[in-house]
Amino acid sequence: MSSPRELKEAFVSNLNGTSLGEVALGSFLAPLCLISRGLVLILYHLGKGVLPLPWIAHFVLDFSMIILPLVLSCTVLSDILHLVILGLAVVCGAVLCYIYRTKRTTAVKSFFQSRVQCDQVPFVTIFRVLVNVKTAISILAVDFSVFPRRYAKTETYGTGVMDFGVGAYVLANALVCPEARRKEVSGSKLSQVVKQFMSVWPLVILGLARLVSVKMSGYHEHVSEYGVHWNFFFTLAIVRVGASVLLALFPVNRSWLLALLIGGLYQVTLEMSGLKYSIIHNDDRTGGFLQANKEGVSSVVGYIAIYMAGVQIGLYIMRPRTQVKEWIRVIWNLLLVSAVLYTTLVLCQASVERVSRRMANLPFCLWTIAQSMFFLSCLATADVILVFMKTVSGCSLVSSSWYPCRKEASASEEKMEKKVEGLCLIQAVNRNQLLFFMLANLLTGITNVLVDTFNSSDYISVCVLLSYMFINSFAMYILHLMKITVKFW
């Protein structure tokens, strides 16, 4: 008879994922949730309500409109996700029409020529936060039967939602790295590489802590995911250092070429050598550290390719722009490149091999980049819609979105906008992203010890997941209210 640990390991093993279309479909949910939250605040303002709300009200609103739908979408609503998205789109469309007809102004005619404040790119922040939030939800949800097996990480080939999450996490970090932001740095390139090497020590410590805790506690582990000793923290650390070396040696604006060369050469190596056979078919893990952790070590190459592509995307997106029409052009270009990459992916899967997160092969890199760009374009579209509704309604107090430029912005208006950002859950998670990820991993382990996740009912599973995300989110929110950024490296 199998032990509980063996049952849990089997529960997350030998899975084949879902379709490319279903993963892409999920990209519409979060943007619609963001639009819905904005429309609620705008309607409240038009009804003569006073903004901003008390801090607890903003937290409950953000949690209910953003976190709750994401939890439900990968649990009890997963089979009708298309209907949920359609329903949300219809409701948002109806409210948009109502506000437009009620507050029709001459400003609408010049909207595309209008300008927005460009202190940051809101949809990039939201992308990074949502990748983190979805990762936090998934790492615990996957242990419950209510989480669809097709969403979990695939064994060898396939496209699971969690597979995309791993690649997107790497790309999200690349989007805002110093090189992508064209941040001026002092010192030689060698000193910058050394600085990056020293800055990843928290990831190494976290990786070692996870390794020791898993081995000592007997916590179930999927060995074929990364290997016997390897985990994703080690991957993140090696990728950051490796990428910083490449960016010191080659022009940053040629990152796309490096991504292509690295991904292509890695795929050739998989095909021409015995590496692919060793990863997929050879279960022997007694040949030393590299043999024991062949998945984790070899897949680093693919993740570096994804990171380099992320740097190139960041260089393009983070370029200063103020006009709305310029950002609409960005959305169009993101969609266009995403379509080209998806077409290349289909051809690559037909002629070479399918997507494999386990190897981080070329198709996996193409899929991660294509899907990330599609998701970014959806979030950017939501931002444009929100800035349009702000212009029409005259209510600008919707956090984590662009603020329309005004000819004469009073000090009180700017102060109020900053106050609203200080009450935003998205900004709270963004302030302490690594801490949020660490806390999620810690609470996942504690939950698995305290709760029989394998035999929990759907109702209990959703309640546990919501409680877990509430604790994660509330902790980050309190730190944000206190303006505390936990960074000691």
Grouping H, G, I as helix, E, B as strand and the rest as coil, residue 116 is strand
Structural contact between residues 149 and 347, judged by C-beta atoms closer than 8 angstroms: no
Tokens of 453: 């996740």
pLDDT at 467 over 60: yes
Measured between alpha carbons, how far is 478 from 116 in angstroms, rounded to an integer?
29
pLDDT, position 386: 94
pLDDT, position 266: 97
pLDDT digit string (tens) for 13-58?
778 899 999 999 999 999 999 999 999 999 999 988 888 999 999 9
The alpha carbon dihedral of 449, 450, 452, 457 has a sign of: negative
Amino acid at position 51, single letter: L
pLDDT at 453 over 80: yes
Give me the phi and psi of 123, to 5 degrees please: -70, -20
Cα 404 to Cα 50, 341, 417: the distances in Å are: 20, 33, 11
pLDDT at 186 over 70: no
Measured between alpha carbons, how far is 429 from 476 in angstroms, rounded to an integer?
6
Packing angle, helices 324-351 and 294-317, rounded to 10: 150
Measured between alpha carbons, how far is 363 from 344 in angstroms, rounded to an integer?
9
Strand partners for 18: 159
Q: Where are the beta strands (DSSP E) in 116-250?
A: none
Q: Of all residues in the chain, what percent are helix, strand and coil, respectively (each to 5)? A: 70, 0, 25
Grouping H, G, I as helix, E, B as strand and the rest as coil, residue 70 is helix
Q: Is the model more confident about 116 or about 191?
A: 116
pLDDT digit string (tens) for 147-159?
999 999 999 999 9
pLDDT at 374 over 60: yes
pLDDT bucket at 407, cuts 50 / 70 / 90: low
pLDDT, position 6: 67
Tokens of 203: 């990831």
Cα 378 to Cα 32, 207, 339, 384, 445: the distances in Å are: 9, 33, 13, 10, 33
Tokens of 58: 């903003």
Average pLDDT over residues 410-430: 87
pLDDT, position 108: 63
pLDDT at 441 over 70: yes
Average pLDDT over residues 222-245: 91
Structural contact between residues 274 and 336, judged by C-beta atoms closer than 8 angstroms: no
pLDDT, position 353: 95
Measured between alpha carbons, how far is 130 from 128 in angstroms, rounded to an integer?
6
Please provide the average confidence, as pLDDT, over all residues in the chain.
Answer: 90
Cis status, amide bond into 52, omega within 30 of 0: yes
pLDDT bucket at 178, cuts 50 / 70 / 90: confident
pLDDT, position 220: 66
Measured between alpha carbons, how far is 200 from 434 in angstroms, rounded to an integer?
12
Structural contact between residues 175 and 127, judged by C-beta atoms closer than 8 angstroms: yes
pLDDT at 479 over 60: yes
The set of residues, in sequence order, having a beta carbon less than 8 Å from that of 316 and lying 6+ positions away, is: 330, 333
pLDDT, position 488: 55
Measured between alpha carbons, how far is 151 from 271 in angstroms, rounded to an integer?
28
pLDDT digit string (tens) for 299-327?
999 999 999 999 999 999 999 898 999 99
Q: Cα 226 to the chain's mean position, in Å?
A: 20
pLDDT digit string (tens) for 60-118?
999 999 999 999 999 999 999 999 999 999 999 999 999 888 876 655 667 777 888 87
Cα 347 to Cα 2, 261, 335, 357, 375: the distances in Å are: 42, 18, 18, 18, 22
User: pTM for this one?
Assistant: 0.95
Q: Where are the alpha helices (DSSP H) in 318-397?
A: 324-351, 362-393
pLDDT, position 104: 63
Cα 293 to Cα 11, 201, 232, 381: the distances in Å are: 22, 20, 12, 41
- Comparing CA positions, the residue from 86, 95, 79 lying closest to residue 46 is 95
